Amino acid sequence: MEQYQGKTIFNKIAIGKVFLYQKKETQVKRRHVEDAEAEIVRFNTAKETALAQLDQIYEKALKEVGADNAAVFEVHKMMMEDEDYLDSIYNMIRGELINAEYAVAATGDNFAEMFAQMDDAYMQARAADVRDISERLVAVLCGTVAGSGDGKRTRTVAGNRTGSGTDMHALDEPVILMADDLAPSETVQMDKSKILSFVTRHGSSNSHTAILARTMNIPAVIGIDIREEWAGKTAIVDGYTGTVFIDPDEETLEQMSAKMRDDERKQQLLRELRGKETITGSGKKIHLYANIGGVSDVAQVLQNDGEGIGLFRSEFLYLESDTFPTEEEQFKAYKMVAQNMAGKKVVVRTLDIGADKQVDYFNLEKEDNPAMGYRAIRICLDRQEIFRTQLRALLRASAFGNISIMFPMIISVQEVLESKRILEEVKTELREQKIPYKDVEVGIMIETPAAVWISEELAKEVDFFSIGTNDLTQYTLAIDRQNPKLDNIYDSHHPAVLRSIRTVIENGHKGGAWVGICGELGADTSLTETFVEMGIDELSVSPSFVLPVREAVRNLR
């Protein structure tokens, strides 16, 4: 057994096989196609190949493991020919002029999500099947499947034995993913159902990949010197201590399994808080919302009983894509989130691209100080066609739920006035075109010291503030949140940060705006009492922190 010490990102334990992630070349990316009919022919050919593979697997399984176990491949064949499933793929290709692999992956995600939400346990289990057939189709389209199976419940394809590579589709069991570093644009495109844990050599605890691990509710450790020979070996990630064990001995396996069972018992206790109010003993109610990066995170919010969504990082829609997401694509995503949240508040932050969230097709110039550079609202006010497309999509989606719009990285009243002016122009345009929308609340992120100090003036212009403590700490302390060398002094508890939060709450209330926190600090239960005492109205946290924070609030007098 070998043992390594890193820095923990999320307190949980994972046991599984190591998969060494190498920078991917074959990602399911959205591509524009000129000829939808040709793309449909391409899809249909791939479908025939996939069906033939399933036939072969079925025959092999029948011989080796019997009819009961083989039956699943018959079900897969039926699902692959399902009319609704195919219509969804054809409609996407024709309606949005996109490539087949993207249409299949998106349809697979949507259907899996739908099945997972159903009450019936049998139907819930179909979520894995629809993912499975979609992965098979995508892999055929990308030319990566060898196409043989061993007849077990899970699919086996070539490539899973090496324990390294880029192709998550080729995995037949969830893995501990190890990499030198992971960019948000990579993590966002991974099949999250296949990942037990992240372990990286680089990265900082405040990076967006770390935030994603928390959203996914999986243990993660950074600062581990990853070795190639670990590929395929068994490992344990102890997210409580930041320890990674390779080839653990029996005793360690036993200890860690006991710790995992303990974790599960605690989770069980927390689940009893579902459906309960987030209210202190003396009756102060806190709105407890969750942060998401995309449509698929909504399931986590619902599972953890989030009372709304306090931060939808919309830039992840752009990161997933190869070209600018169209108004229609964005509209569908926002609408789906609004509808799934069934009237609960959904705060969508407009595009916050730049800094660590880089997208090739924006053609942003390389900057010396990207965190303080051309990003977020600065890009939106400069390249208004991008901003207007997003605002139109958001307003159209507002008709289907309870959407609020939030502008990031604000440093001046002028930026807010200009953003609101553009929003009003977009509303006028929609009215003229008789396209329905609802009146939405408009808020801003308070994540720069400038915004803190002019928060009294800003409050008069908006309905709400959401304090982004991740960036507020970075800019207040002049510490790059991405720099692992500074991780130990990146301190969100610094009095300068806490005083800023108090000031913002007071000024927000004076100006009639409600005030929340959507940075990671909002989930720090050692500060819950402080925030409540300061008068915070809302906390928005990674879905897995909703119930622990509810518990902390309910434990207050």
317 binds ligand PEP (CB under 6 A): no
Which does residue 151 touch among ligand PEP, Mg ion, none (CB within 5 to 8 A, set by kind)? none
Q: Is 351 in the site for ligand PEP (CB under 6 A)?
A: no
The nearer residue to Mg ion, 238 or 487, going by C-beta atoms, is 487
The nearest distance, CB 553 to ligand PEP, in angstroms, is 20
**Residues of span 388-447 touching ligand PEP by CB under 6 A:** 447
Least distance to ligand PEP, CB of residue 517, Å: 8
When CB distances to Mg ion are compared, the closest residue is 471
Taking the CA atoms of the chain, what radius of gyration do you get in angstroms? 24
- For the bound state, the minimum distance from the C-beta of residue 337 to ligand PEP, rounded and expressed in Å, comes to 17
CB of 471 to Mg ion, least distance (A): 4
Assign 3-state DSSP to the chain and report helix, strand, coil percentages, each to 5: 50, 15, 35
Environment class of residue 547 by beta-carbon count within 10 Å: exposed (0-12), middle (13-18) or buried (19+)? buried
Measured CA angle at 195 (ends 191, 197), to 5 deg: 145
Report the residue number, 171 or 518, with the smaller CB distance to ligand PEP: 518
By the rule CB under 6 A, 469 interacts with ligand PEP: yes
| Tokens standing for residue 104 | 């299949």
- 469: partner contacted, choices Mg ion, ligand PEP, none (Cβ within 5-8 A by kind): ligand PEP
Q: Which is nearer to Mg ion, 145 or 376 (CB)?
A: 376
- Taking residues 32 to 61 in sequence order and writing x for each that binds ligand PEP by CB under 6 A, - otherwise, the string is ------------------------------
154 token code pair: 């899970």
- Find, among 390, 537, 398, the residue nearest to 459 by Cα: 537
DSSP states along 249-279: -HHHHHHHHHHHHHHHHHHHHHHTTTT---B
142 close to 26: Cβ distance less than 8 angstroms: yes
Q: Which of 414, 19, 15, 445 is nearest to 190 (CA)?
A: 19
Nearer to ligand PEP, 17 or 481 (CB): 481
Return the DSSP state at 323: S
Q: Which residue has the tokens 């609802």?
A: 438
Q: Residue 238 touches which of Mg ion, ligand PEP, none (CB < 5 to 8 A by kind)?
A: none
Nearest to 106 by CA among 129, 83, 88: 88
Token pair 């025939």 in the structure block, residue: 48
In the complex, the smallest distance separating the C-beta of residue 317 from ligand PEP, rounded to whole angstroms, is 14
Min dist. Cβ of residue 156 to ligand PEP (A): 38
Q: Which is nearer to Mg ion, 166 or 350 (CB)?
A: 350
Count of all residues that appear for the chain in the document: 557
Residues from 243 through 262 that contact ligand PEP (CB under 6 A): none
Please, which residue, 151 or 468, has the CB nearer to Mg ion? 468
Catalytic residue from among 202, 208, 494, 509: 208
- Give me the residues that bind Mg ion (CB under 5 A), please: 447, 468, 471
Q: Does the annotation count 380 as an active-site position?
A: no
**Which of 144/215 has CB closer to ligand PEP?**
215
Q: How far is the CB of 474 from ligand PEP (least distance, A)?
A: 8
Does residue 437 sit in helix, strand or coil?
coil
Instruction: Name the residue with tokens 């064949």.
Output: 77
468 binds ligand PEP (CB under 6 A): yes
| Those residues with Cβ within 8 angstroms of residue 474's Cβ, 6 or more apart along the chain or in another chain | 206, 371, 480, 481, 490
32 given a catalytic annotation = no
Q: Work out what residue 544 binds among Mg ion, ligand PEP, none; the CB cut-off runs from 5 to 8 Å by kind.
A: none
Inter-axis angle of helices 121-142 and 36-80, to 10 degrees? 140
Sole binder of ligand PEP in the list 8, 278, 470, 492 (CB under 6 A): 470
Contact 407, 415 (CB under 8 A): yes
Q: Does 519 interact with ligand PEP (rule: CB under 6 A)?
A: yes
The residues assigned a catalytic role are 208, 518
Residues forming contacts to ligand PEP in the complex (CB under 6 A) are 311, 313, 352, 447, 468-471, 518-519
